[in-house]
Structure 1
Amino acid sequence: MTNVVIIGGGPGGYEAALVGRQLGGEVTLVERRGLGGSAVLTDVVPSKTLIAAAEVMSRLRSAEEVGLRLGDGGARLADTVRVDLGAVHRRIRDLARAQSDDIRGRLEAEGVRVIDGTGALAGTGEVVASTVDGEQRLPADVILVATGAHPRELPAARPDGERIFTWTQIYDLDTVPDHLIVVGSGVTGAEFASAYQALGVPVTLVSSREQVLPGQDDDAAAVVQEVFQASGMTVLNRARAVSAARRGDEVVVRLVDGREVVGSHCLMAVGAIPNTAGIGLEEAGVALTAGGYLSVDRVSRTSARGVYAAGDCTGVFPLASVAAMQGRIAMWHALGDSVAPLDLLTVSSTVFTAPEIATVGVSQHQVDAGEVRALAVRLPLRSNARAKMQAVEDGFVKVFCLPTTGIVVGGVVVAPSASELIHPLSVAVRNKLTVDQLTASFTVYPSLSGSVAEAARRLHGHSTAQLH
C-alpha cells in the first residue's frame, strides 16, 4: 500500500486525494482552513456567486430594451430593486461552507483520512501535521504540496477588513459602499469592479496599465473597458497606487503621480503570493522560483524525489481547473497509471466580467509576435440574431487556425455567456479539429454559438492572408 500525504485541500489537493484512493493509495489530506481551499471559501465560489447576483441586476437594467416595463408605467424595473449586500454576502458565505462540507463528505466516503491542521515536510518521506491536539507524524511514499496562495499586500495599503479589503475579506461587508475604489485591473480586480458596478455601486478602477485586463486578448480587453466606461465606471489607466489609508469614513488612495482618489471603501487586488514559506520545502530539497513558487514539470514533479505539487503554489496557471488537473496528473504518475503531461494550450479560461472573456489555445499576442503562424477571423456579435433578441451589442468571436491545414489552434469569445460558448472551441483545439470539421456540426438557429461556427466557416479556403 502506497502512503500518500497531501498538504492542502483545495482543488489540486482534494482531486488528487480522490484519484489516489481510486488507484489504491492510502491517502491522508492535511488542511488548515477548510476543504475546498481558497477556490471554495474565498475566491472562485464566492466571487462567482456575487457575480451571479450582479448578472440579475444587469438583466433588470436591460428589461426596457426588450419591451418590459412595470405595470403602472412608472419607475424603471431596475430602480425598484434594492441590493441587500448583507444578504448577498450571507448567501455567498453559506454556499461556500456548504460546498466545503460536500467536499469533506465525498473525501471521507471514499476513504480519505482528513486531518484539520497545518502540514509541513520533514524531509521527503514524512509530513508533520500540527493540530489543536498536537503534532502527528505521517510517513509518506508520495507527498503532494497544494498549499495555494494568499493576497499580496502593499506595505502602505494594509487591509483592515472594515474599509480597506482584500478579496478574501470583502464578503464581511454588510452595507453597500457609497464609492468603491478597486486597485488592480487584472482578472480579480476587473471581476469585482464589474460586479459592484452592476449592483449599482459607483466604482473607480485604478489600473497601472494602458487598459484593463493586461495579459488578456487586447481586442477583448478593449471591449470590456469600453463597457465599463459606458456603464459609468471611472477607469484610471496608467495610474499606479502607492498607498491607501483611512481618513474618517473615507479611504484615500494616493497615486504615484501625486493624485488622490477618495472613496468610501477600497478593494486591493494587486496579485497573490504562494503559500510556500515555513513548510520545510527548501530543507527537503524542493526548488523554488525567485517568486517563491514551486518549480514543477508537466507531470507535477518537483525537484525532490517523491514530492509533487499542484495549484496556485506552482505559479503555472492560477485556475481551479488547472490545479485539479495538476493534482490528478501527479497521482496518475506517482501511482503508476497512464498519464498525459499537462498541456496549457488546451486550457480554456474565463474572466467573469460583463461581458465575459473566454479563451483557449493560441493567443493574438503569440500570432502578432510571430511565435505561431495562424490565420484569424473576428466576428462581432451584434450581427448575430440571438444577440439582437437579447439586446447584446458588445462582444465578438475570434477563431485562430493554421494555414493550409485549417486546424483550429485557438479562440476568443467575448459575450455574456462566453464561459459556455468557449467549449466547442476548446474541444476543437484539444482534438485538432479543422475549421471545416467544426462547422460540419449543426448549430441551433438562433443561437450565440452560431457565431462560433460562422467564424470558423469564414476561415474556409484561406491559407495565405490574415483575415479580419
Structure 2
Amino acid sequence: MAEQYDVIVLGSGPGGYVAAIRCAQLGLKTAIVERELLGGICLNWGCIPTKALLRSAEVLHNMKHAASYGLAADNIRADLDAVVKRSRGVAKQLNQGVTHLMKKNKIAVHMGTGTLKGGGKLEVKGDKGTETLTAKHIIVATGARARDLPFAVADGKRVWTYRHAMTPTEMPTKLLVIGSGAIGIEFASFYNDMGADVTVVEMMDRVVPVEDADVSAFLEKALTKQGMTIMTGSGVEALTVTGTGVKAKLKGKDGNVSDADFSHVIVAVGIVANTEGVGLEEQGIALERGIIPVDPMGRTSAKGIWAIGDCTPGPWLAHKASHEGVIAAEAIAQELGNKDVHPHAMDRANIPGCTYCHPQIASVGLTEAKAKEAGYTVKAGTFPFIGNGKAIALGEAEGFVKTVFDAKTGELLGAHMIGAEVTELIQGYVVGKTLETTEAELMATVFPHPTLSEMMHESVLAAYGRALHI
C-alpha cells in the first residue's frame, strides 16, 4: 500500500527543503524525495562551497597585500588541494545540518529519483528498489544544471562546468571562462587570485550584463587592473581539446578571429531546468522552453502539483527558491483548511542579486536604464567608497553605491553596488523596497558611523543633490 502524505516535495535544494520545513511547521505530514544529496546543488555544489573557495582566495589576496596594512607575510603560497578540501568540508557540514532539520521537523526522507504518476502518486526509484508515495499535493523542486555548448561539451578534464571547477584535479595555468554572469565571474575571480592567467569572453557588450551599466564598467576596469583579459562583444567560434590543453578560436568585437591556447576552459553560459523525465507532460503540464509555468503561488496547470525554484521562471537564485517554497507551503496549507496562514505572492522586483567576485556586486530592482525604459523620470545618486572613512580604513576604497528613484513620487526603484561587503549591505535596500520606502524615510534614517552602510545614506542624498561627504 502506498504511503500517504499531505505534501511530497520532489527535490531538496534551498527551495525544496525549506518548503518541506514550512509544510511541517504548519502541521502537514510531509515527505521529501532526493536523488543525490540533501541540500541540493546550492548547498553541496553551488552557493555555499563556492563562497568557501572565494573566501580562501580573498584571504590569499589580503596576505599578498599585507604590506599595505603595515604587515609582513613572506613565502605566501596557495595549497589548492587544501582549499578544495576546506570547501568540501563546509558543504558536508551544511548537508548534515539539513539532515538534522529533516529529523527535527519529522519529515520523511526518501532517497531516489521521483516520477509523477498522476492521482497524487509519485514513484521513487532508489537503492531500495521502487516505492510509490501518494499525497494530496506535490511540490516539484528539481532545480537546474549547467548548460553545455555544442562545441564545448564538458569532459571534466580540460572543459569544466562549475562542478568541475569546484573540485579541480589540477591548477589551471591559463584559463578561459566563457560567460560573465555570476558563476563565470566568480570562478574567474577565484582562479585569478589563485594565480591563473584568466581570459573572460562575453557575447554581450559588457560583463555582468544584467547589472547596471555603471557597475559593469567599473567591474571590467577592476578585473583588468587585476590582470584578467576581458573580451566583451566577443564569442568562442570553436574549441579543440588536446592532450595538454585547449585550442580556441576567439571572435573579437571587431569580427576578427584569433587563435589562443588555454590549459582549461570553464563554460558558464546559463542553466537548463531539470524537467525531463519527471512526468510533467504526462500530467498535462506544458513546459515553456523547458521551464514549468506557475501562478504567483506556485501552482502549475495540474491540480495538486506545484513547482518552485530553478525549474520555474527566473531569476534563478537560491533565496528566490526558498521564498517560493514558503509561499507554496502556506498556499497548500490554506487550501487544506488552515485559516491562520495568509500567503503573499512573490514580488520579483524585490529579489536581490549578489555576485561574490572581487570586488563584490549586489543589486535589487530596476537599473537606471530599465527604469527609464519603463517610462519613469528618474533621480539617480552615486556615492564612491573613497568618500567613506570605514572603506578607507579597511583598505577597500574602490567601488560605489548607486540608488535610483522615481522623481515624481520618491519611490525607491533600484539600488546597485560594487565594492567590499556590498552583498551584506544590499539587504537594507531590499527591506526598504519591501516596505515601499521613499527617499524621505531613507534620508531621515540614522546610519551608524563609521560603517560602510553610511554610503547607502549618502547615495540617497546624492540623488537629490544633498550628499555631505563628497
TM-score normalized by structure 1? 0.93
Alpha-carbon distance, 1:461 to partner: 8.2
Match of 1:74 in 2: none
Q: Distance in 2 between matches of 1:245 and 1:104?
A: 43
Which residue matches 1:297? 295
Amino acid in structure 2 at the alignment position of 1:22: Q
Q: Cα gap change, 1:114/1:219 in structure 2, threshold over 3 Å: closer, same or farther? A: same
TM-fit CA distance, 1:13? 0.5
Contact 1:287 1:302 survives alignment (8 Å): no
Secondary structure of the structure 2 residue equivalent to 1:100: helix
Q: Distance in 2 between matches of 1:69 and 1:133?
A: 58
1:222 aligns with 2:225: no
Tell me if structure 2 keeps the 8 A contact 1:124–1:304.
Answer: no
CA distance in 2, matches of 1:344, 1:273: 20
Aligned-pair distance for 1:10? 0.3
Task: Decide which of 145, 169, 179 is 1:184's aligned counterpart.
Answer: 179
Q: Distance in 1 between matches of 2:406 and 2:430?
A: 16
Contact kept in structure 2, 1:254 and 1:261, CA below 8 Å = yes
Distance 1:4 1:355 in 2: 42
What corresponds to 1:423 in structure 2?
Answer: 427
Task: Quote the residue 1:25 is aligned against.
Answer: 28
Q: Distance in 2 between matches of 1:376 and 1:459?
A: 5
Amino acid across the alignment from 1:112: I
| Structure 1: runs of 5+ lacking an equivalent | 71-76, 463-467
1:39: which partner in 2? Answer: 42
Aligned counterparts of 1:421 and 1:332: Cα–Cα separation in 2: 29
Does residue 141 (structure 1) correspond to residue 139 (structure 2)? The answer is no
CA contact (8 A) 1:28 1:113 kept: yes
Change beyond 3 A, Cα 1:236–1:124: farther
1:407 equivalent in alignment to 2:411: yes
Quick check: 1:14 aligned with 2:17?
yes
Counterpart of 1:80 in 2: which secondary structure?
A: coil
Please give the alpha-carbon distance, in whole angstroms, between the structure 1 residues aligned to 2:249 and 2:49: 29
Cα drift, residue 409 of structure 1: 2.6
SS in 2 for 1:316: coil
CA drift at 1:439: 2.8
- AA in 2 matched with 1:29: I
2:310 is aligned to: 312
Q: CA deviation at 1:61?
A: 3.4
Partner SS, residue 353 of structure 2: strand
Three-state SS of the structure 1 residue aligned to 2:409 is coil
Per-residue CA distance 1:348-391 (angstroms, 9 max, x = gap): 12111111111112222322313433321111222222222223
Q: Which amino acid aligns with 1:135?
A: T
The alpha-carbon deviation at position 22 of structure 1 amounts to 1.0
**Which one of 44, 60, 65 corresponds to residue 62 of structure 1?**
65
Q: Tell me how far 1:424 sits from its aligned partner.
A: 1.5
Amino acid at match of 1:359: S
Report the Cα distance in structure 1 between the residues aligned to 2:304 and 2:211, rounded to whole angstroms.
36
1:8 maps to amino acid: G
Q: Is the 8 A contact 1:244 1:251 kept in 2?
A: yes
Instruction: Specify the code of the residue in structure 1 equivalent to 2:162.
Output: W
Q: Tell me which amino acid in the other structure corresponds to 1:310.
A: I
User: Is the Cα–Cα contact under 8 Å of residues 377 and 408 in structure 2 kept in the other structure?
Assistant: no
Amino acid at match of 2:385: L
From 124, 127, 134, the equivalent of 1:132 is 127
Deviation at 1:308, TM superposition (A): 0.7
SS at match of 1:259: strand
TM-score normalised over the length of structure 2: 0.92
Provide the C-alpha distance between the structure 2 equivalents of 1:135 and 1:254, rounded to a whole number of angstroms: 48
- Per the alignment, residue 384 of structure 2 pairs with 380
Question: What secondary structure, in the 3-state scheme, does the structure 1 residue paired with 2:211 have?
Answer: coil
The 5 Å alignment of 1:52-451 reads 52-66=55-69, 68-70=70-72, 77=73, 80-256=75-251, 258-289=257-288, 291-336=289-334, 337-451=341-455
1:54 counterpart SS class: helix
- TM-superposed deviation, 1:242: 3.4
Q: 2:372 touches 2:378 (CA, 8 Å); kept in 1?
A: no
* Residue-by-residue CA offset, 1:417-436 (whole Å, 9 max, x unaligned): 10111122111111112222
Q: Report the Cα distance in structure 1 between the residues aligned to 2:307 and 2:43, rounded to whole angstroms.
A: 19
Letter in 1 for 2:400: F
Which runs of no fewer than 5 residues in structure 2 stay unpaired? 335-340
% identical aligned pairs: 33
Tell me if the contact between 2:309 and 2:324 (Cα under 8 Å) persists in the aligned partners: yes
Q: 1:165 to 1:437 in 2, by over 3 A?
A: same
Residue 460 (structure 1) shift: 4.7
Amino acid at match of 2:282: E
Deviation of 1:32 after TM superposition, in Å, equals 0.3
- CA 1:125–1:372: 2 relative to 1, 3 Å: farther
Query: 3-state SS of the aligned residue for 2:371?
Result: helix
What is the CA distance between 1:262 and its match in structure 2? Answer: 1.0
Q: Does structure 1 conserve the Cα–Cα contact (< 8 Å) formed by 2:382 and 2:462?
A: no
Taking the aligned partners of 2:459 and 2:150, their CA distance within structure 1 comes to 48
Contact 2:114/2:125, CA 8 A, preserved across alignment: yes
Aligned residues: 454
Kept after mapping to 1: 8 A contact 2:368/2:378: no
The AA in structure 1 aligned to 2:268 is A
2:147 is aligned with what amino acid? R
CA contact (8 A) 1:224 1:353 kept: no
Letter of the aligned partner of 1:282 in structure 2?
E
What amino acid does structure 1 have at the position aligned with 2:327?
I
Cα shift at 1:142: 0.4
